[in-house]
Chains A and B, each alone.
Chain A
């Protein structure tokens, strides 16, 4: 087995190499049915983080991925990349234009977990979600979080990842709020209202 290559920070000059003109468009610019997912990144003092980069990855509205490792097969949807990338601006703001994802199969039921599906092996659905990476100066490794949706209360309640987080105020950091043109998902790197981050 080969040992893996360690991570290093993107540093303060990430804007030279990482942003793309079409980066924020996980769904092609102008394509109908899209929503804007917007947010602000703030640090432990509540100050905006102007040198961060947000990346998003998600299923399409049918819960499918354009990827061969999905055992259900790859599904390509015209104009939809599923991947968004946006640097933060001077006020720490970022935005990604995308489609709201559908529910995605989750872990198989098991005796230990006996959810709605019981031990039959039938997968428990995960609520619609978007995986997010946060890169920034001052972060030696990316952090990972997940966006859930405010209009999916029932599915969120059954979601195996979300419901594994015991404290309601921590769970709440993963649920976006509705806005006029989509959803808002603020990311607090530290302190009061700190976003839940995952070890992936």
Chain B
């Protein structure tokens, strides 16, 4: 990789070093404008009262932003990656595995990082007091999973394919089948919560979550790929999905004190 770690680079630096390599000289993370949905998106009605009206202020990446919680094995149990277990019986639905890698924008794996997921059951019903549409709960499915990536950034879950479900955002509104994902990376700046979709879903066209992503190519990055090589005979279909978090600035950046307004 040819890139020193921050710890190795600056192990001997003092906070009051005369210049450069001090505690203020930290690598920031490259911003990724245009990738994420806007906070104000009228097609998703609930954004109306929940988006800031003033422009965001640019926050430089200082120590609090380039560090973050390193949550690992102590947060997960041995069965947490398998959503089909831990109940009296097996859940209804199509058994699948979802696996892939967590990478940064430079293609480097993000190892030993916590990945959390939650989802509806095979019929499209969440085990949640707020979900009451006429679709049965499955006594053998809770719909929550956790794992930690390995040294190469790989993760894997076993679950059932979630169903689509209706909601009240617009006339005859249905969410495409999806699994919610939560990722930490190694810095507060890299935190990401998103949703993974399935290829060829006929419901994308009317889904404001999907359409809120401005770049159609970026939308496609939320779609897992059916992976026949990893599909297990007489057991489970495989879907592969890689997640890319923000990458580091290529040079140590000496922050200017003057911040700019975004407007």
Q: Which residues of A come within 8 Å of B, CB atoms?
A: 1-18, 20, 43-45, 47, 49, 51, 55, 57-59, 65-74, 81-83, 104-110, 112-113, 115, 120-124, 126, 129, 131, 133, 135-144, 146, 160-161, 164-165, 170, 189-191, 194-200
* Stretch among B6-14, B87-95, B148-156 lining the A interface: B6-14
A198 to B56, CA, bound (A): 5
Per-position contact with A for B155-189: 1 when CB-CB < 8 Å, else 0?
00000000000000000000000001010001111
Q: Which residue of A lies closest to B22 (CB)?
A: A123
* Beta-carbon contact of A3 and B218 below 8 Å: yes
* Beta-carbon contact of A189 and B63 below 8 Å: no
Interface size of B in residues (CB-CB distance below 8 Å): 103
Please report which residues of chain B, range 1-54, place their CB below 8 angstroms from some CB of chain A when the two chains form the complex.
5-7, 9-11, 13, 15-27, 31-32, 35-39, 41, 44, 46-54
* Beta-carbon contact of B9 and A140 below 8 Å: no
Given contacts A69-B6, A164-B258, contact A11 B180 (CB under 8 A): yes
Q: Which residue of A lies closest to B180 (CB)?
A: A17
* Beta-carbon contact of A5 and B245 below 8 Å: yes
Q: A4-B247, A123-B24 are in contact. List 12 more A-B contacts (CB 8 A).
A: A5-B221, A67-B68, A69-B66, A70-B26, A83-B71, A107-B255, A112-B256, A141-B37, A164-B257, A190-B52, A196-B54, A198-B58
Given contacts A6-B219, A71-B23, contact A198 B62 (CB under 8 A): no
Q: Which residue of A lies closest to B45 (CB)?
A: A138
Given contacts A8-B222, A66-B70, A71-B23, contact A107 B60 (CB under 8 A): yes
Q: Which residue of B lies closest to A65 (CB)?
A: B67
Closest 7 CB pairs of A and B: A17-B118, A113-B257, A138-B46, A107-B255, A71-B10, A121-B19, A83-B69
* Beta-carbon contact of A68 and B52 below 8 Å: no
* Beta-carbon contact of B56 and A8 below 8 Å: no
Chain A residues near B251 (CB-CB < 8 A): none
The minimal Cβ–Cβ distance linking B17 to chain A, given in whole angstroms, is 7
Q: Which residues of B come within 8 Å of A, CB atoms?
A: 5-7, 9-11, 13, 15-27, 31-32, 35-39, 41, 44, 46-54, 56-71, 75, 103-107, 116-118, 120, 126-128, 130-131, 142-144, 180, 182, 186-189, 191-195, 209, 212-213, 217-219, 221-222, 243-247, 254-259, 262
Q: Which residue of A lies closest to B55 (CB)?
A: A199
B24 partner, pick from A5, A20, A108, beta carbons under 8 A? A108
* Beta-carbon contact of A44 and B50 below 8 Å: yes
Given contacts A108-B254, A131-B64, A190-B52, contact A2 B44 (CB under 8 A): no
Chain B residues near A3 (CB-CB < 8 A): 32, 35, 105, 217-218, 221, 244
Chain B residues near A58 (CB-CB < 8 A): 64
The minimal Cβ–Cβ distance linking B103 to chain A, given in whole angstroms, is 6
B187 partner, pick from A10, A17, A69, beta carbons under 8 A? A69
Chain A residues near B64 (CB-CB < 8 A): 57-59, 65, 104, 126, 129, 131
Q: Which residue of B lies closest to A166 (CB)?
A: B261
Chain A residues near B131 (CB-CB < 8 A): 12-13
A70 to B247, CA, bound (A): 17
Q: Which residue of B lies closest to A53 (CB)?
A: B193
B257 partner, pick from A43, A57, A124, A170, beta carbons under 8 A? A124
A74 to B7, CA, bound (A): 8
Q: Which residue of A lies closest to B25 (CB)?
A: A108
* Beta-carbon contact of A18 and B182 below 8 Å: yes
A178 to B84, CA, bound (A): 47
The minimal Cβ–Cβ distance linking B126 to chain A, given in whole angstroms, is 4
* Beta-carbon contact of B209 and A140 below 8 Å: yes
Enumerate 18 A-B pairs (CB-CB under 8 Å) in ascending A order: A3-B32, A4-B105, A5-B192, A5-B194, A7-B193, A8-B37, A9-B44, A13-B128, A14-B118, A16-B142, A20-B75, A57-B188, A109-B257, A115-B257, A138-B47, A139-B39, A140-B36, A141-B38
B44 partner, pick from A18, A83, A140, beta carbons under 8 A? A140
A148 to B216, CA, bound (A): 39
* Beta-carbon contact of A6 and B116 below 8 Å: no
Q: Which residue of A lies closest to B104 (CB)?
A: A2
Q: Which residue of A lies closest to B47 (CB)?
A: A138
Given contacts A106-B62, A139-B51, contact A70 B67 (CB under 8 A): yes
Chain B residues near A59 (CB-CB < 8 A): 63-64
* Beta-carbon contact of B50 and A138 below 8 Å: yes
